[in-house]
Structure 1
Amino acid sequence: MAVTDARILDLGLLHHYTSRTSQSFPIPPQSIWVFMDYIPRVALSHPHLLHQVLALAAVHAAYLRPGDRTKYLSHGSQHQGHAIAGMRRLLLVGADVATEEGSLALFLAAGLFLASSFASRHLYNADPGAAHTAMDEMLEIFTVVRGLRAIQDASIRQIPDNVVHSLVSDRAPAEVSSGGTLDLVRDKLDELAVFISTCRHLDQAEAHTVGEGIAALIQSTGDMPGSKVKTSHELRAVFMWPRALAQEFIALLEQRHPAALTVFLYYCIVLQATEDTCWFLDGWSARLTRAIGKWLGDAPWADVSRWPLETLRLKGSRH
């Protein structure tokens, strides 16, 4: 693509971000200004954030315009690469991170990067025939979530008060909530924990690791009074559970261990509950369910996984 064409496309993406992408997040109305106005203004002084804004806008445009998907994903991946390189440089040298605005720019870039990671990996593999890759891709995203944890935990303390007051709202949009879904998920997870603790198909170490994974998911879907940025319980759990998992549980998922995959299906239910309002998560639960269902056909996991699988298939997906 010629330099002039690329710049024109960037201008179009910046307009797309301010007019469409910035208003596409499931956030309270009083917080939209942060995404529509504040982030673009901060990005003009912080190239890594500007590249991330353009990368996310490109992925969103690819999501909305399937006919131009290849063009937008290709151009967005270039901006994503620049954003990652910029964040890495800042972390290595510490420049600008100690300032309030610099720390905020890094926090915002990390958050937008998570959204674009979920969306781009799914859009690159939107073909239903690619379902077998879904688990590996989600585990890559888990690595991203866990890797960005230190950045976000450190930088959130420096967010300006006016931004905090806007993001920290007790009035998360009601349409994001899935009603009693999380209560039912927690009840079923309690039952699963009892089964895991007495399952003769697991050794002691496996049972302990899986039990910890269940406990982390129960905690992630519950109330967190100390959470600084308020959002829906479901959306928060999507990001919190990967952060809370022990590496041993991640290893079981990588090995496609049936007990860990069964727990993961409950995470898919939480994920599915966000898809109607979170475009960047749309389609993930269906791909993951298709993949995991093929690995849980043996006893006793076929019986144990029946409820989450039926729950997921009951709602279905557009993908």
Structure 2
Amino acid sequence: MQDFLLHGILAISAIHMAHCNPDKREKYATISARHQNIALSQFSPGLTEIGENNADAYVLHAICIFLVNTYSIANPQGPITSRDVAQSFILLQGIRSILALPFAHRYIFNGPLARWLYQGSVEPAVGGNYSSKIDDLLNLTRSMAPSDDTLTCQSALEGLKHTFAAVSTPQHRKGLVWRWAVSLPQSFLELMSQNHPMALVILMYYAALVYAFERNMWYLTGWGSNVASALDKAIQEPWREWIQWPLRCIREGVDIRQVEPLKPVEGNPRTQLPTINFNLGLFKPSEPPP
């Protein structure tokens, strides 16, 4: 096993210990940060030397970084912003960049990670509240003046519909909920970071979709509700009407894939756990080679 991957796994383990032992969370958060710093010091220099013998280790460690960062958003020490979310998505885009390498794709596709990273084609979802709401947003963008930003948002919405279809199949893998974040273009991440109102509305719908998976993934519990709370503060009129439905779903604890909530209720504050700041600039999104 590569040393950086070992330290990455230990960092995740320490965060899990912090999650399970709130009275010792500061101790374990410090241990996690130490292992992560060691891992990053060994991981970063080798990004230009990825080959068939180590591609899976680099992918796994990138996933470790993403999981720890996801946990810090789910359990923030202070306010989070759409820029924080965009930066965490860059880590997933980095994984996509590795998988786009011809030899890496060939090696990993036939290796032990294949069942976790690859999924067959998915039929588009038909009907349902979520799909119809996304269609409403698509129609809204089509009514706007044509622009690069509008086209970017339309692409993000189409990707969100595809992700919704993937996680709505009976035997879907929970990790497929991140498919949307992996597929986002750099231009949409920039719109998120700039608080572009339409991009924030789309992110709210994604937060509601992620929320449906929180109960079964310890590192994710709180992500959807915390992101939604941050967006609720950032989104102003006349855009607020477009976020009421997903926001109500989260506040009522409703699985947005199945049921439309009846009335809004106030959400309960979450216990804050320590945030660990990591270098999120290791990966830059890139398109697969031709």
Q: In which range does the TM-score fall when normalised by the shorter chain? A: 0.7 to 0.9
1:82 lines up with 2:25 in the alignment = no
Shift of 1:113: 2.5
Residue aligning to 1:107: 59
Q: Which has more helix, going by share of residues?
A: 1
Shift of 1:107: 2.5
Residue aligning to 2:240: 302
Residue aligning to 1:151: 98
- Please provide the CA RMSD for this pair: 2.9
Deviation by residue 1:139-178 (Cα, 9 ceiling, x = unmatched): 22012111232224443532496735875899xxxxxxxx
Higher RCO (CA 8 Å, separation ≥ 6 residues):
2
296 and 191 in structure 1: CA distance in 2 versus 1, 3 angstrom threshold: same
- The CA distance in 2 between the partners of 1:310 and 1:75, in whole Å, is 38
Q: % of aligned pairs identical?
A: 23
AA aligned to 1:295 is A
Residue aligning to 1:288: 227
Among 120, 144, 148, the residue aligned to 2:72:
120
Among 225, 236, 240, the residue aligned to 2:176:
236
Q: Aligned residue pairs: how many?
A: 247
- The CA distance in 1 between the partners of 2:172 and 2:269, in whole Å, is 23
Gaps of 5+ in 2: 120-124, 254-266, 271-290
Q: How does 1:89-238 map to 2 (within 5 A)?
A: 89-94=45-50, 97-99=51-53, 102-123=54-75, 125-126=76-77, 130-131=78-79, 133-154=80-101, 155=104, 157-159=106-108, 163=112, 167=116, 183-199=128-144, 204-223=147-166, 232=172, 235-238=175-178
| TM-score under structure 1 length normalisation | 0.68
| TM-score under structure 2 length normalisation | 0.74
Secondary structure of the residue that 1:279 maps to in structure 2? coil
Moved more, 58-67 or 245-254: 245-254
222 and 233 in structure 1: CA distance in 2 versus 1, 3 angstrom threshold: farther
64 and 194 in structure 1: CA distance in 2 versus 1, 3 angstrom threshold: same
Q: Give the greater-gyration-radius structure (CA).
A: 1
- The CA distance in 2 between the partners of 1:134 and 1:295, in whole Å, is 9
Gaps of 5+ in 1: 1-42, 171-179, 225-230
- The CA distance in 1 between the partners of 2:114 and 2:226, in whole Å, is 37
Residue aligning to 1:34: none
- The CA distance in 1 between the partners of 2:63 and 2:227, in whole Å, is 23
1:273 lines up with 2:212 in the alignment = yes
